[in-house]
Chain A
């Protein structure tokens, strides 16, 4: 069965510091991977997605993620975090058509000044 694990429930980083959010997946076929961000009281917004090709994917708001098949991972990174990045981040896996996504439990990012 497909599943997504986000090992960190909470992460706190200082403004300007680098960020890495971890995501591990289990999927029976070629995985298509997504990162979403959810601000309080808001819906989820797509940050980036990996379908195929280059394993380093660039997204919006300066985020990037790297697909590592051997490690079943799709970690999200940002070189310098801004206070406005404080939110909850969800990793998701699904088929290539973007339907039937399975989400992880999320990681809450806190940014301290």
Chain B
């Protein structure tokens, strides 16, 4: 079974530029998550999708971050304009709800963003 795919793996940009990350979840997984992991910290949930609808985006800085999940499969996360403090690893995860077991989240390898 193929895992969660993310691209690019690495990205370096200057502040005020824009950037986009792509995620392809595990086939059949209805729930998709984007996390931000700053160096030395644990992952922080930015946004959660159920199919192509947003379930939770309470921690997404909406003035600069946006995300979409067209057709309930792939997703993109965009930052415009980027700030220095956006330097982090952006993780995508997907899950399938199992009755009695809840969601088990499967994570992609992440995109490491450096903002100069």
Give the B-binding residues of A (Cβ under 8 A). Answer: 4, 32, 36, 41-46, 49, 51, 90, 92, 96-106
B44 touches A97 (CB 8 A): no
Interface size for B (C-beta < 8 A) is 26
| Interchain CB contact (< 8 A) of B42 among A97, A100, A104 | A104
A interface SS class = loop
A103 touches B104 (CB 8 A): no
The interface residues of chain A lying within 8 Å CB-to-CB of B44 are: 103
B31 touches A99 (CB 8 A): yes
A43 touches B102 (CB 8 A): no
Which of A42, A100, A102 neighbours the largest number of chain B CB atoms within 10 Å of its CB?
A100
Task: Please tell me if B109 contacts chain A, counting CB pairs below 8 Å.
Answer: yes
A-B contact pairs, 16 of them (CB 8 A): A36-B107, A43-B91, A43-B109, A43-B110, A44-B43, A49-B104, A90-B42, A90-B43, A92-B42, A98-B102, A99-B55, A99-B95, A99-B103, A103-B43, A104-B42, A105-B40
A97 touches B103 (CB 8 A): yes
The interface residues of chain B lying within 8 Å CB-to-CB of A32 are: 102
| Interchain CB contact (< 8 A) of B109 among A42, A49, A102 | A42
| Given A51-B102, A100-B48, residue A43 in contact with residue B42 (CB < 8 A) | no
Closest residue of chain B to A91 (Cβ to Cβ) is B42
Report the bound CA distance from A5 to B106 in whole Å: 23
Closest residue of chain A to B33 (Cβ to Cβ) is A99
Q: How far is the CB of B39 from chain A (nearest CB, A)?
A: 10
Report the bound CA distance from A105 to B42 in whole Å: 4
B107 touches A44 (CB 8 A): yes
| Given A43-B4, A43-B110, residue A98 in contact with residue B40 (CB < 8 A) | no
